[in-house]
Amino acid sequence: MQETDLGMMDAGQLTALFQSGEASPLEATRASLARIERFNDAVNAYVYVDHEGAEQAAKASARRWGQGKPLSPIDGVPVSMKDLTEVAGMPARDGSLTTSDAPCESDAPPARMLREAGAIFLGKTNTPEFGWKAVTDNRVFGATYNPWDTRLTPGGSSGGAAAAAALNMGVLHQGGDSGGSIRIPAAFTGVFGFKPTFGWTPQWPPATEPTLSHIGPLTRNVPDAARMLNVIGRYDYHDPYATRGQPDDWGVDLDCDLRGLRIAYSPDLGYAQVDPQIAARVREAAEKLQALGAEVEEIHPGFESPIEIFQKIWFTASLEVWSRSTEHERTLLDPGLVTNARIAERWSALDFFRALESRARLTQRLEHFNQKYHLLMTPSVSVSPFEANHEVPPGSGMRDWEEWAPFSYPFNLSQQPAASVPCGFTDTGMPVGFQLAGGKFDDVRVLRACHAFMQAYPPRFPTVPDPAQTG
Note whether 436 and 421 are within 8 A (CB): yes
Which pLDDT score, from 0 to 100, does residue 464 have?
66
pLDDT, the chain, mean: 96
On the CB side of 159, how many CA atoms lie within 13 Å of its CA? Answer: 37
| Residues above pLDDT 90, as percent of the chain | 97
Query: Which DSSP letter does residue 216 get?
Result: E
> Catalytic: which of 158, 178, 181, 420?
181
DSSP assignment string, 339-368:
HHHHHHTT--HHHHHHHHHHHHHHHHHHHH
> Catalytic: which of 24, 61, 80, 157?
157
DSSP assignment string, 395-448:
TS---SGGGT-TTTTHHHHTT--EEEEEEEE-TTS-EEEEEEEE-TT-HHHHHH
- pLDDT band at residue 2 using 50, 70 and 90 as cut-offs: very low
Annotation says 82 is catalytic? yes
Which pLDDT score, from 0 to 100, does residue 4 have?
76
- pLDDT band at residue 3 using 50, 70 and 90 as cut-offs: very low
C-alpha span between 29 and 26 (Å, rounded): 5
> Catalytic: which of 24, 80, 82, 312?
82
Residue 405 carries which side chain, given as an amino acid letter? A
Annotation says 59 is catalytic? no
- pLDDT band at residue 465 using 50, 70 and 90 as cut-offs: low
Note whether 130 and 321 are within 8 A (CB): yes
Annotation says 157 is catalytic? yes
Digit-coded pLDDT (tens) for 311-360: 999 999 999 999 999 999 999 999 999 999 999 999 999 999 999 999 99
| Torsion angles phi and psi, residue 172, rounded to 5 | -110, 130
Beta-sheet pairing, 375-379 with 262-265: parallel
C-alpha span between 286 and 280 (Å, rounded): 10
The residue-averaged pLDDT of 282-297 equals: 98
Beta-sheet pairing, 192-195 with 214-219: antiparallel
Q: What is the pTM of this model?
A: 0.97
Which pLDDT score, from 0 to 100, does residue 463 have?
85
The residue-averaged pLDDT of 44-51 equals: 98
Which pLDDT score, from 0 to 100, does residue 466 have?
55
The residue-averaged pLDDT of 196-216 equals: 96
